[in-house]
Chains A and B, each alone.
Chain A
Amino acid sequence: MADVLNCKHCGGTIQVTGYCANCGLKSEYVNKALNSSKYYYNIGLDKARVRDMSGAKEALKTALKYDKMNIDARNLLGLVYYETGEVVMALSHWVVSVNHFSGRNVAKRYIKDVRSNPHKLEATNNVARKYNQALAYARQGSKDLAFIQLRKVLSDNNKFVNGYLLLALLFIDEERFDKARKALKRVIKIDRTNPLAVRYLSEMGHTDEEIMRFRDFPEESYDADLLFVDEERKAYSGTGNVDFDGEPIPVGRYKDINFYKYSLAYIIAGLILGIAVTWFLIVPHRDKTADDESRNLKIAFSQEIADKNVKMASLENEIESLNTELDDANKQVTNLNKKIKAYETSAAQILSDEDRVRMQSGIKKYEDMSYDEAISDFDKVLEHNPDSDIALYYKGMSYIKKSDTINAKQAFNKLVSKCPDSLYYTIAASYADADVVDAADANTQNDNRTGNDGTVPEGNQTGNDGTIPEGNQTGNDGTVPEGNQTGNDGTVPEDN
């Protein structure tokens, strides 16, 4: 049984003539086309492996021209578009691929990955929209706006080759060749043989060797990100992936960061900062608080001392006034005592009616020179009033008239000692014994010294010099001057 060959294009039976009974194509041509397709696919695959994206695109497109059913070539072309930032083109090829072969097709996973994140898909669409806007601005001459849009584009998709190329063109137009070179290097990193990038570099004066060196730079040290960014702008670019010129900012490698060293540095810096804060903020505040407290305490004590001083001054004034009042009171007491004494003396001189009659009778008898009878009357008066100075005086004078000096002295001694304030004191003192008179004078002086003012109650004054105040004088002969006799008892001699 002969083998039946089927057409590789449509699956129909191949006739003896070599043509397909179904599609009419000659089997030889079909095989040739399929082989060519696979050939270019292999070329595209090799170029894609060395990141020659432009060459891979061309080879894979050629492969699809020979066989549009070449699933591998179509999927790889989609990957190449995806790698160069053209996501929509990549998706379209993957969709066609799945449409042609819905079996185990890796394009299904690619589509799923892209569509699984709606935000990312939207961001991808925004990138395309902004790039188109930037292109429109560039064509209109609004280069600043084009820069702004490109910055956003490359921030969202840092593999977008067309964006870098347009950016490089803008830089070249502004003669910022260094920036343009960096953008082109980025392109070269993604797509090693990008013809536009190579051409721009050539136009900028780079030789083929230099371009080859850019292209073949060892991957280990080819950190294009570092070449893109100038240090000042990187410092202010924050956490974004692209700097002001739309250039990606390098992210430090994990292995380069010595966390232990930085941690130690942070701890030391924290300690220094803490000490500085304590020294410059907390300690002065505490000192100030202590100073304020001591100042307030001093003020409080000063106020208290001032209050005390005022109170002391007022109390001293009060003491002084009280002392003055006490002195006045003592003077009043002394005066009152003297008055009391004077009243007592006066009271002692006040006689009853019987004694008053007997006293007048005795004085009458004395004047009539009936001395013994007069003495008898005076003794009777003295029985009831032993301190009666009048009775003692006339009794003493009666004894003098009788030349009985002994009894006379007794009577005058008693008068001097008992009645120092009497009107008859001076006369009595001249007859009395000297020691009795001295004792009486001493008592009188003590009394006057006790009374600080040294005053003598009115009506009882006797001169220390032995004189008798006018109107109260009595004659040395024991008689009372006429018209001047007044009895302390309030009686008046009959002849007056």
Chain B
Amino acid sequence: MINFDEEVKKFKPTLELDQAEEAIYSNDLKDIMDIMQEMMRVAKETER
């Protein structure tokens, strides 16, 4: 059975225009290649 209070908590507020900049930065996150670069950089620093 659907519990209204529980279900309504799952709804998230939608973005407004003044939040667009924040959304842009959050959408331009690192991809898997950025993560690999970061891992390599950390590994090299660890070897040193």
Chain A positions near chain B (C-beta within 8 angstroms): 9, 23-25, 29-30, 33, 37, 64-69, 86, 88-89, 91-93, 95-96, 99, 121, 124-125, 128-129, 131-132, 135, 138-139, 162, 165-166, 169-170, 172-173, 196, 200, 203
Number of interface residues of B (CB under 8 A): 28
The CA of A138 and the CA of B7, in the complex, are separated in Å by: 11
The CA of A132 and the CA of B15, in the complex, are separated in Å by: 9
Question: Which 7 A-B pairs give the minimum distances between C-beta atoms?
Answer: A92-B23, A88-B15, A68-B31, A173-B4, A132-B13, A125-B17, A128-B16
The CA of A65 and the CA of B34, in the complex, are separated in Å by: 10
Contact A33 to B33, CB < 8 A, known contacts A88-B20, A91-B20 = yes
Do A129 and B24 have beta carbons less than 8 Å apart? no
Contacts of B10 in A (CB 8 A): 196
Contacts of A23 in B (CB 8 A): 33, 37
Contacts of A131 in B (CB 8 A): 13-14
In the complex, the chain B residue whose C-beta lies closest to that of A37 is B31
In the complex, the chain A residue whose C-beta lies closest to that of B24 is A92
Contacts of A64 in B (CB 8 A): 31
Contact A165 to B36, CB < 8 A, known contacts A68-B30, A89-B23, A132-B16 = no
In the complex, the chain B residue whose C-beta lies closest to that of A26 is B36
B46 at the interface (CB under 8 A from A): no
Do B23 and A88 have beta carbons less than 8 Å apart? yes
In the complex, the chain A residue whose C-beta lies closest to that of B35 is A65
Name the residue among A128, A162, A196, A203 with the largest chain B CB count within 10 angstroms: A128
Q: Mark B2-44, 1 if CB is under 8 A from A, else 0.
A: 1010011111011111011001100111111110110010000
Query: Which one of B11, B17, B31 contacts A128 once the chains associate, using CB atoms below 8 Å?
Result: B17
Contact A135 to B8, CB < 8 A, known contacts A88-B14, A88-B23 = yes
Do B40 and A24 have beta carbons less than 8 Å apart? yes
Do A89 and B33 have beta carbons less than 8 Å apart? no
The CA of A90 and the CA of B11, in the complex, are separated in Å by: 19
Do B16 and A88 have beta carbons less than 8 Å apart? yes
Contacts of A9 in B (CB 8 A): 33
Contacts of A24 in B (CB 8 A): 37, 40
Sample of 17 further A-B pairs with CB below 8 A, known A88-B15, A169-B11: A24-B40, A65-B32, A91-B20, A92-B20, A92-B23, A92-B24, A93-B27, A96-B28, A99-B24, A121-B17, A124-B17, A131-B13, A132-B14, A170-B4, A172-B2, A203-B1, A203-B2
Do A86 and B15 have beta carbons less than 8 Å apart? yes
Query: Which one of A66, A89, A96, A196 contacts B31 once the chains associate, using CB atoms below 8 Å?
Result: A66
Chain B positions near chain A (C-beta within 8 angstroms): 1-2, 4, 7-11, 13-17, 19-20, 23-24, 27-34, 36-37, 40
The CA of A65 and the CA of B35, in the complex, are separated in Å by: 10
User: Can you list 16 residue pairs at the A/B interface with Cβ under 8 Å?
Assistant: A23-B33, A24-B40, A33-B31, A66-B32, A68-B29, A69-B31, A89-B15, A92-B23, A93-B27, A124-B17, A125-B16, A128-B16, A135-B11, A169-B7, A172-B4, A203-B2
The CA of A34 and the CA of B27, in the complex, are separated in Å by: 18
Do A162 and B29 have beta carbons less than 8 Å apart? no
Contacts of A173 in B (CB 8 A): 2, 4
Contacts of B34 in A (CB 8 A): 68
Contacts of A91 in B (CB 8 A): 20
Query: Which one of B11, B28, B32 contacts A162 once the chains associate, using CB atoms below 8 Å?
Result: B11
**B21: shortest Cβ distance to chain A, in Å?**
8
Contacts of B8 in A (CB 8 A): 135, 138-139, 166, 169
The CA of A457 and the CA of B17, in the complex, are separated in Å by: 140
**A278: shortest Cβ distance to chain B, in Å?**
60
**B6: shortest Cβ distance to chain A, in Å?**
10
In the complex, the chain A residue whose C-beta lies closest to that of B16 is A128
Query: Which one of B11, B19, B20, B29 contacts A166 once the chains associate, using CB atoms below 8 Å?
Result: B11
In the complex, the chain A residue whose C-beta lies closest to that of B30 is A68
Contacts of B19 in A (CB 8 A): 88
Do A169 and B2 have beta carbons less than 8 Å apart? yes
Contact A92 to B7, CB < 8 A, known contacts A9-B33, A64-B31 = no
In the complex, the chain B residue whose C-beta lies closest to that of A163 is B14
In the complex, the chain A residue whose C-beta lies closest to that of B41 is A24
Contacts of A172 in B (CB 8 A): 2, 4
Do A29 and B27 have beta carbons less than 8 Å apart? no
Contact A200 to B30, CB < 8 A, known contacts A25-B37, A89-B15, A132-B16 = no
Contacts of B17 in A (CB 8 A): 88, 121, 124-125, 128
Do A95 and B24 have beta carbons less than 8 Å apart? yes
In the complex, the chain B residue whose C-beta lies closest to that of A32 is B32
Do A86 and B14 have beta carbons less than 8 Å apart? yes
Contacts of B11 in A (CB 8 A): 135, 138, 162, 165-166, 169
The CA of A23 and the CA of B10, in the complex, are separated in Å by: 40
Do A33 and B40 have beta carbons less than 8 Å apart? no
